[in-house]
Amino acid sequence: MSKEELYNRLSEAVVGGKPDITKNGAEEALSLKFNAVETINEGLVKGMSIVGERYAAHEVYLPQVLMSAQAMYSGLNILLPAIPKSEMLDQKKCAVAVVEGDVHDIGKNIVKTMMTASGYHVFDLGKDVPITVIVDTAESENLDVVAMSTLMTPTMDAMKDAIDGLIESGYRSKVVVTIGGPPTSPSFAEEIGADHRDENAQNCVTWLKGAL
């Protein structure tokens, strides 16, 4: 099978949400000694960006995105360990978290997917994440980006606490902070001292490319 054929098969499987096909395709790529990074970028990521764009354009629904994400991860699980360490050095690091008090993490998971698809090393801190965990991880993992989200109004000011915490620790100037979630807005982001707020994951990734 040619490289092109395999890459197309992988990206179509991501778009169609078929985890078995991506898993088999990834294994095949490795057995044919294709470059793992290239396979991720030209196959899985390409498919995921198509889904991201369609979602941003309201052409597909959320469950379809989640299925595509699952397909991408099942391919990534095979390919990521095959990337030599030296190629990972200049990879940007990002943490995603749903802030303390909130457990709604679908949006956060989409952001995680898009960030992974864009080549970030993503630290998924999960949901209901204490402020200190966000602040400490930023410093200990030397993060480039902190992405926070919340669905609910009462938990919004935990984002301000997290940013205040980064200022106290002295790490704020070294990291880009972006936020999301339905109750937030660009003016809220400005008010609490975040760098950016976006309403969808794909646009946020595009913005980050320019910001870093």
Footprint of another protein (CB under 8 A): 101, 131-132, 135, 153-157, 160-162, 164-165, 167-170, 182-185, 187-188, 191-192
Cα-Cα-Cα-Cα torsion 179, 94, 57, 128, nearest 10 degrees, comes to: -50
**Which residue number, 49 or 150, has a Cβ lying nearer to another protein?**
150
Kindly report the number of other CB atoms within 10 A of residue 36's CB atom: 20
**Which residue number, 11 or 155, has a Cβ lying nearer to another protein?**
155
**Which residue number, 67 or 98, has a Cβ lying nearer to another protein?**
98
**Which residue number, 124 or 161, has a Cβ lying nearer to another protein?**
161
Contact 150, 99 (CB under 8 A): yes
Q: How far is the CB of 89 from another protein (least distance, A)?
A: 25
Residue among 113, 39, 122, 41 at smallest CA distance from 71? 113
Q: How far is the CB of 160 from another protein (least distance, A)?
A: 7
- Establish how many alpha carbons lie within 13 A of residue 133's alpha carbon, considering only the half-sphere containing its beta carbon: 16
Q: How far is the CB of 149 from another protein (least distance, A)?
A: 12
- Sequence-separated (6 or more) residues with CB below 8 Å from residue 196: 176, 177, 178, 179, 189, 204, 207, 208, 211
Q: How far apart are CA 211 and CA 162, in angstroms?
A: 20
Question: In the structure encoding, which two tokens stand for residue 13, read together?
Answer: 């499987």
**Which residue number, 53 or 161, has a Cβ lying nearer to another protein?**
161
Question: In the structure encoding, which two tokens stand for residue 74, read together?
Answer: 């099942």
Q: How far is the CB of 111 from another protein (least distance, A)?
A: 17
- Sequence-separated (6 or more) residues with CB below 8 Å from residue 86: none
Q: How far is the CB of 86 from another protein (least distance, A)?
A: 30
User: Which amino acid is it at 184?
Assistant: T
**Which residue number, 77 or 153, has a Cβ lying nearer to another protein?**
153
Q: How far is the CB of 182 from another protein (least distance, A)?
A: 6
